[in-house]
Chain A
Amino acid sequence: MLGKLAKKAFPKSLWVYHCNSGACNGCDIEILNVLTPYYDVERFGIKLVASPRHADVMLISGAVTRPTFPLVKKAYDAMPAPKLVFGIGSCATGGGCWFDTYNVTGGADKAIPVNYFIPGCPPRPEAIIYGVALALGLVDKKAAPIELKQIEFPIDIYQRTKAWEERNVIYQLLYD
């Protein structure tokens, strides 16, 4: 649904503002890698701009640290209204190794609303292109939550106590 909305809101091209909020520069180098002719994102009309006032999309990298927290909010507010935010890297997605440190907010989504998360430390340039293509509706989402259970589990522990109570109803009658 968001892909359709993105298609409607940005019919021609996305102008991208790159915001480093205390990243280690790994993700920033990968973002610059994406803009090279080898992984040419100008095919999709994506262009890097210097000011958030010109931008449609903010690529935010790094766990938002305490000094950069107000600056990130300001940059987000400066962007014109139909805007998307991409959290790039593990730090922007969930805080990375510093998710509970004293001077880190723990992920970009705790500072500003983030639309798309691209995990990886750093993410491959292909992964970033994949995330952008996902927002544009060119590819399908591949990630899905996984739930595993050991099949040979003999007793259903959740229902065991209930079954015991049902089996021993007779004792309840005796008590009454």
Chain B
Amino acid sequence: MWLTSKIKQLFVVAKPGTVTLPYPFEPRPVPENYRGQPYWDHHKCIGCGGCANHCPARTILVRDLCNELRVMMYDGSRCTYCGRCADLCPEKAITMTPQYELATDDKRDINETMELFMLTCQRCGRCFDHEIKNAIDKLAYLGYRYDNLEMRAVIPVSSQTFDKELYEKTKTYKRPEKIGE
């Protein structure tokens, strides 16, 4: 009998009541130890760049504008929220906030930029050697970073972006039938 089964179904459904969350109209708290958007405390940060070196997605970029100024930029668009930066930070300047409502129509909304004043050496009066003009020697010089903030690229990683023209070429690529032709 389909009617009795339907009535039975009604009772089964009525037993737990409404389970649907009224989410977008009422806030919903996150569980404990939830890792949301990371937040940098610029008063605590010493600019060691440890987070930039250990970020798996390379979201944190460092650029030294001059001897005294260091810009650190967090590109949240590719962050995987692993919390490694917060674990590493020696000064505990990074906290993983429970903020998860990050949906935007513009990728730049989830960026964080921080400008740090770096102390200079008491003996020589500068932080880093600027006299090395050779780029390869500069990379070998520990501590000096010059990442590409505009293209969101970490410079020491030698890799290329996806090339559409190259893809078009490889799509119609034909192997030569004989060697030498």
Interface residues of A (CB under 8 A from B): 2, 37-40, 43, 66, 69, 90-91, 93-97, 99-102, 104-107, 109-110, 115-121, 123-124, 126-127, 129-131, 133-134, 138-139, 141-150, 152-155, 157
> In whole Å, how far is A147's beta carbon from the nearest beta carbon of chain B?
5
Residues of chain A with a CB closer than 8 A to B68's CB: 155, 157
**Interface size bracket, B side:** 35 or more
Residues of chain A with a CB closer than 8 A to B75's CB: 94
CB of B80 within 8 A of CB of A96, answer yes
> Which of B43, B65, B102 meets A150, CB within 8 Å?
B43
> Looking across the interface, which residue of chain B has its beta carbon closest to that of A128?
B103
Residues of chain A with a CB closer than 8 A to B56's CB: 97
> In whole Å, how far is B150's beta carbon from the nearest beta carbon of chain A?
15
**Is the C-beta of B181 less than 8 angstroms from some C-beta in chain A?**
no
7 contacts between A and B (CB under 8 A): A2-B105, A39-B20, A39-B23, A90-B57, A110-B162, A143-B109, A145-B113
Known A43-B20, A116-B103; contact A152-B117, beta-carbon cutoff 8 A: yes
> Looking across the interface, which residue of chain B has its beta carbon closest to that of A133?
B24
How far, in whole Å, are A145 and B76 apart by their CA atoms in the complex? 10
CB of A107 within 8 A of CB of B77, answer yes
> Looking across the interface, which residue of chain B has its beta carbon closest to that of A153?
B117
How far, in whole Å, are A133 and B58 apart by their CA atoms in the complex? 30
Residues of chain B with a CB closer than 8 A to A129's CB: 23-24
Residues of chain A with a CB closer than 8 A to B78's CB: 90-91, 93-97, 99, 107
> In whole Å, how far is B84's beta carbon from the nearest beta carbon of chain A?
12
Residue among B104, B108, B116 facing the most chain A CB atoms (10 A cut-off): B104
> Looking across the interface, which residue of chain A has its beta carbon closest to that of B109?
A143
How far, in whole Å, are A147 and B69 apart by their CA atoms in the complex? 15
Residues of chain A with a CB closer than 8 A to B77's CB: 90, 93-94, 107, 117, 119
> In whole Å, how far is A44's beta carbon from the nearest beta carbon of chain B?
9
How far, in whole Å, are A2 and B157 apart by their CA atoms in the complex? 38
CB of B57 within 8 A of CB of A119, answer no
**Is the C-beta of B146 less than 8 angstroms from some C-beta in chain A?**
no
How far, in whole Å, are A93 and B101 apart by their CA atoms in the complex? 14
- Binary interface encoding of chain B residues 131-170 relative to chain A, with 1 for a CB under 8 A from any of its CBs, else 0: 0000000000000000000001100010111100001000
**Is the C-beta of B126 less than 8 angstroms from some C-beta in chain A?**
no
CB of A121 within 8 A of CB of B80, answer yes
- Binary interface encoding of chain B residues 44-70 relative to chain A, with 1 for a CB under 8 A from any of its CBs, else 0: 000000000000111000000110110
How far, in whole Å, are A130 and B99 apart by their CA atoms in the complex? 12
> In whole Å, how far is A89's beta carbon from the nearest beta carbon of chain B?
9
**Is the C-beta of B92 less than 8 angstroms from some C-beta in chain A?**
no
